[in-house]
């Protein structure tokens, strides 16, 4: 092959992939480092989730279920924080529950962080039930009495010694359950808890799952749906606390554009090369 014949475009077609890595890294990193934000358009599904919580009278109880682990943290943790801010801002009481044992420390960390911001007191304004194995069985038994599954909270403190838990026994005492889902627990919340106990439900899911859960919203089985980082950004906008989701959406958009530009450049290089080969 004659080196001089290789045009700029063709060189581009065979570029060291580390340049691509660098560009993707920068495109994602710059909005984070400089706090660049993207305007976010709120979708009806997220608005409806927000309205459901916003309508609750002061002192109502919201149960948030942490059904994810570290792998889905980037998408679901911003949702958790935005929802917690909404609840604490409206003086609602929060109960955290876990169905993924490895999500325990992650959920607790988010809860403590936001509670501190609002000066909330453990056991009075919020608490964490922790994890019990049994999935569906746990969900169903909470329909009659939470204490039949959770004898104590995450640290083993008996529920009755926490002031806020005095009058909370089952789903009748919980206004809304918010399920943050990276797997199949969301389906169980809908099929068991919503169907049997008519419990109001909101789901926050990873972007990959959103399309699969959408039918629940259409069927009215859930009150709202927050999907992926984009959904988290929308919720942040609603609670007037643009945080990670907003920054993330800027990175996200730029990264998509960058990848599409790569594809276009790659194809130009490919066609230039083919034209030259035909010409020879």
Decide: is 71 part of the binding site for another protein (CB under 8 A): yes
Please say whether the beta carbons of 43 and 234 come within 8 A. Answer: yes
Decide: is 70 part of the binding site for another protein (CB under 8 A): yes
Residue 167: which of 95, 108, 87 has the closest Cα?
A: 95
Tell me the window of 49-57, 82-90, 117-125, 246-254 that interacts with another protein (CB under 8 A): 246-254
Decide: is 44 part of the binding site for another protein (CB under 8 A): no
Cα–Cα distance list, 106 to 67, 96, 139, 181, 230 (Å) = 11, 11, 21, 13, 20
For Cα atoms 217, 42, 190, give the angle at the middle one, nearest 5 degrees: 20
Q: Which tokens hold the place of 37? A: 């934000």
| HSE (side-chain half, CA atoms, 13 Å) at 8 | 1
Closer of 6 and 12 to another protein (Cβ): 12
Decide: is 115 part of the binding site for another protein (CB under 8 A): no
Closer of 25 and 59 to another protein (Cβ): 25
Cα–Cα distance list, 156 to 101, 128, 166 (Å) = 15, 10, 16
Decide: is 198 part of the binding site for another protein (CB under 8 A): yes
Shortest distance, CB of residue 130 to another protein, whole angstroms?
8
For Cα atoms 95, 97, 99, give the angle at the middle one, nearest 5 degrees: 165
Shortest distance, CB of residue 91 to another protein, whole angstroms?
27
Decide: is 130 part of the binding site for another protein (CB under 8 A): yes
DSSP 105-161: HHHHHHHHHHHHHTT--BTTTEEEEEE-S-THHHHHHTTT-GGGT-SB-TT--BGGG
Out of 53, 120, 244, 246, point to the residue binding another protein (CB under 8 A).
Answer: 244
Out of 91, 207, 241, 272, point to the residue binding another protein (CB under 8 A).
Answer: 207
Out of 203, 229, 238, 239, point to the residue binding another protein (CB under 8 A).
Answer: 229
Residues that bind another protein (rule: CB under 8 A) add up to a total of 62
Distance between CA 269 and CA 161 in Å, rounded? Answer: 70
Closer of 52 and 128 to another protein (Cβ): 128
Residue 224: which of 173, 171, 180 has the closest Cα?
A: 180
Shortest distance, CB of residue 150 to another protein, whole angstroms?
14
Residue 29: which of 256, 255, 274 has the closest Cα?
A: 255
Closer of 4 and 33 to another protein (Cβ): 33
Shortest distance, CB of residue 78 to another protein, whole angstroms?
9
- Which residues from 45-64 bind another protein, rule CB under 8 A? none
Task: Name the residues that contact another protein, by CB under 8 A.
Answer: 17-18, 20-21, 24-25, 28-29, 32-33, 38-41, 70-71, 73-75, 77, 101-102, 104-105, 108, 130, 133, 143-144, 154-155, 195-198, 206-208, 211, 228-230, 244, 247-249, 251-253, 255-260, 262-263, 265-267, 270-271
């Amino acid at each position: 092959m004659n080196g001089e014949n290789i045009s700029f475009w063709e060189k581009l077609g065979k570029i060291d992939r580390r340049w691509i890595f660098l560009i993707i890294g920068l495109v994602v990193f710059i909005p984070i480092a400089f706090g660049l934000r993207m305007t976010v358009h709120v979708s009806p599904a997220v608005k409806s989730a927000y309205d459901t919580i916003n309508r609750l009278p002061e002192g109502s109880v919201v149960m948030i279920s942490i059904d994810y682990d570290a792998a889905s943290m980037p998408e679901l943790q911003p949702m958790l924080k935005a929802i917690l801010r909404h609840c604490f801002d409206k003086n609602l009481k929060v109960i955290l529950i876990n169905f993924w044992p490895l999500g325990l420390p992650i959920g607790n960390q988010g809860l403590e962080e936001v509670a501190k911001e609002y000066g909330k007191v453990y056991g009075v304004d919020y608490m964490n039930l922790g994890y019990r194995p049994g999935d569906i069985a746990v969900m169903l038994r909470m329909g009659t009495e939470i204490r039949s599954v959770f004898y104590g909270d995450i640290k083993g403190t008996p529920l009755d010694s926490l002031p806020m838990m005095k009058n909370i026994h089952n789903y009748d005492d919980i206004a809304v359950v918010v399920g943050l889902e990276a797997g199949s627990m969301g389906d169980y919340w809908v099929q068991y808890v919503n169907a049997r106990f008519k419990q109001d439900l909101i789901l926050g899911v990873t972007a990959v799952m959103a399309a699969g859960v959408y039918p629940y919203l259409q069927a009215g089985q859930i009150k709202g749906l927050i999907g992926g980082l984009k959904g988290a950004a929308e919720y942040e906008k609603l609670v007037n606390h643009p945080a990670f989701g907003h920054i993330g959406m800027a990175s996200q958009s730029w990264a998509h554009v960058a990848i599409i530009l790569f594809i276009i450049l790659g194809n130009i290089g490919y066609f230039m090369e083919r034209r030259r080969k035909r010409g020879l």
